[in-house]
Amino acid sequence: QKNVCLTSWRIKVMDGNTAICVEGKRKDMKDLSWHSNTIVERIAHNQVKTSSGSIYLLQGNIDSTSMRKEG
Q: Is 19 within the bounds of a domain?
A: yes
| Residue 11 belongs to domain spanning | 4-61
- 16-62 pLDDT, tens digit per residue, is 889 999 999 999 999 999 999 999 999 999 999 999 999 999 999 99
Backbone angles phi, psi at 45, to 5 degrees: -60, -25
Q: What's the number of domains the chain is made of?
A: 1
Q: Cα torsion for 8, 50, 68, 65, to the nearest 10°?
A: -10
Q: Is 21 within the bounds of a domain?
A: yes
Q: What is the DSSP letter of 3?
A: E
Q: Cα torsion for 14, 15, 17, 19, to the nearest 10°?
A: -70
- 38-48 pLDDT, tens digit per residue, is 999 999 999 99
Closest CA to 37 of 64, 55, 25, 61: 55
Q: Is 71 within the bounds of a domain?
A: no
Which residue(s) pair with 44 in the sheet? 47
